[in-house]
Amino acid sequence: MRTQVAIIGAGPSGLLLGQLLHKAGIDAIILERQTGDYVLGRIRAGILEQVCIDLMDEAGVGERMHKEGLVHGGFEMLYNGKRHRVDMNKLTGGKNVMVYGQTDLTKDLMDARAAAGLPTVYEATNVAVHDFDSKKPRVTYEKDGQKFEIECDFIAGCDGFHGVCRASAPKSAIKEFEKVYPFGWLGVLADTPPVHHELIYVNSPRGFALCSQRSHTRSRYYLQVPLTDKVENWSDEAFWDELRLRLDPAARAQLVTGPSIEKSIAPLRSFITEPLRFGRMFLAGDAGHIVPPTGAKGLNLAATDVKYLSNALVEFYVEKSEAE
Ligand code: APR
């Protein structure tokens, strides 16, 4: 089989890239090792920055996001017992963020791809990338016991931190930087109304806390905890008690608690790869970098990567430019 761009990974990066290329008339196939349901089942980020909002609109999949998403023009910072609102909209000349789950964004992109009849191979195994230092890169994979080969012009490694693309880059050509933080974030998702209509970032003597949200009825909270903590040692009760201790009296009074529907401890680290290009293979999103889950930075950086990569590919195909 032949296509113009072979995209590895059907997470937000791969799906958004696929949609933007389709809008520009560029053929692409997506190879994903999991099932679509598995990809949709992952609880992830929930705050879209303006760049992500604009790209969803550019990709023609922003309708439900604008209907169901919550627009925030600012956020609050609580330190030394006092809350300070940062007027993001005013300070950025009109930009906002949108509370809209990564799962919803992924679903909108998946649905649009399926509706357009674009090729996505789920449960593709043993994906391997070849000859990306030539003008004729290839991708091989297996599906239902059969082997397949795709000839393409470019490979987009949107396969996340554990993917095959970065792992296939020549060791001599890649530099990796990592910072591991000496604590983790204990996160809880609960079907309770958020403590405040905007996010609250907390710097308390007991440690960091974040009051985030997914909707008017679903809240997301994080507590900084020692790396030695185990999630099974944190009852919901203990979580809410500790969160109260880190909040100011007004937020404490507003806090509605309830059973957690997801609870986990995320070890915090920052990981960056340089460069993101290896011949005709490009990395985008978590394949190239991991950042702590503050304000969905991972998702929004992924969207920014995809913006630059899709623009470059459009320039190559539509404007016939081979500019580096
Ligand atoms: N072959 C095919 N698919 C693969 C392979 C492989 N060898 N390795 C990984 N994948 C798939 C994964 O199953 C996953 O669906 O690539 C996809 C990568 O998606 P993400 O990990 O979500 O990364 P990305 O699309 O860059 O999105 C970044 O997702 O992980 C969160 O916090 C992160 O919000 C950020 C966003």
**153 and 15 part of one domain:** yes
Domain that holds residue 229: 179-268
**256 and 138 part of one domain:** no
* CATH at residue 163: 3.50.50.60
Contact present, 273 and 173 (Cβ < 8 Å): no
**169 and 105 part of one domain:** yes
**51 and 183 part of one domain:** no
β-strand pairing of 277-278 with 281-283:
antiparallel
Supply the pLDDT for residue 322: 61
- Note the pLDDT tens digit of each residue in 162-190: 999 999 999 999 999 999 999 999 999 99
- Note the pLDDT tens digit of each residue in 291-304: 987 778 899 999 99
- What lies within 8 Å, CB to CB, of 136 at 6+ separation is 151
**115 and 262 part of one domain:** no
Residues near ligand 1 with C-beta < 6 Å? 8-14, 31-34, 39, 44-45, 102, 124, 127, 158-160, 162-164, 285-286, 298-299, 302
Q: Tell me if 212 is assigned to some domain.
A: yes
**280 and 264 part of one domain:** no
| Three-state DSSP class for residue 166 | helix
**138 and 282 part of one domain:** yes
- As for how many domains the chain has, the answer is 2
The pTM of this model reads 0.93
**295 and 209 part of one domain:** no
Q: Tell me if 83 is assigned to some domain.
A: no
Distance 106 CA to ligand 1 centre (A): 11
Give the separation between CA 42 and CA 143, rounded to whole angstroms: 23
Distance 206 CA to ligand 1 centre (A): 34
Look at residues 268, 285, 309 and tell me which one is the last residue of a structural domain.
Answer: 268
* CATH at residue 231: 3.30.9.10
**17 and 161 part of one domain:** yes
- Note the pLDDT tens digit of each residue in 213-258: 999 999 999 999 999 999 999 999 999 999 999 999 999 999 999 9
Map tokens 């554990």 to a residue. 162
- What type of residue is 255? L
**163 and 230 part of one domain:** no
Q: Tell me if 77 is assigned to some domain.
A: no
**12 and 113 part of one domain:** yes
